[in-house]
Amino acid sequence: MAVNTGKSLVANLALSKTKAGLTDTGVSYTSGIDDTEFADFTTADNETVKRICLYYEPTLKRCLKEIRPDFAKRFADLGPEISVNKECGDWDYLFSLPSDYLALIKQTSESNTRSEIRCDVLDFTSFAHVVVGDDYEIYICTTAHTSVDDTADGKPADDDGDGNWTIDSDSEWKGVEWEIGKAYLASGSAKILVTNTLSNDDSDSAYIEYIPYTQGGINDDPTYYTDEFQNAFATLLASEIELDSARRIQLLTEYKTLAKPDAAAIGESDEYEAKPPTKVTDARTNLQVN
Residue 24 pLDDT > 90, yes or no?
Answer: no
Question: What residues does each domain of the chain span?
Answer: 5-70+214-264
CA distance 130 to 184: 9
**Alpha helix (H) residue ranges in 123-226:** none
- Rounded CA-CA distance 140/131 in Å is 7
Contact between 209 and 73 (Cβ < 8 Å): yes
Name beta bridge partners: 139: 131, 167
Pairing assessment for the beta strands 74-77 and 278-279 based on DSSP bridges: parallel
Q: In whole angstroms, what is the distance from residue 57 CA to residue 215 CA? A: 8
CA pair distance 210, 103, nearest whole angstrom? 6
Is 30 within 8 Å of 49 (Cβ atoms)?
yes
Q: What are phi and psi of 34, to 5 degrees?
A: -95, 170
pLDDT, one tens digit per residue, over 204-245 is 999 999 999 999 899 999 999 999 999 999 999 999 999 999
- Provide the percentage of residues in the chain whose pLDDT is more than 90: 59
Mean pLDDT (whole number) for 165-186: 82
pLDDT of amino acid 171: 67
Mean pLDDT of the chain: 86
Sheet holding 278-279, edge to edge: 112-117, 101-109, 207-212, 74-77, 278-279
Report DSSP letters for 213-234, one per residue.
Answer: --TTSGGG-GGG--HHHHHHHH
Q: What pLDDT band is residue 61 in, cutting at 50, 70 and 90?
A: very high
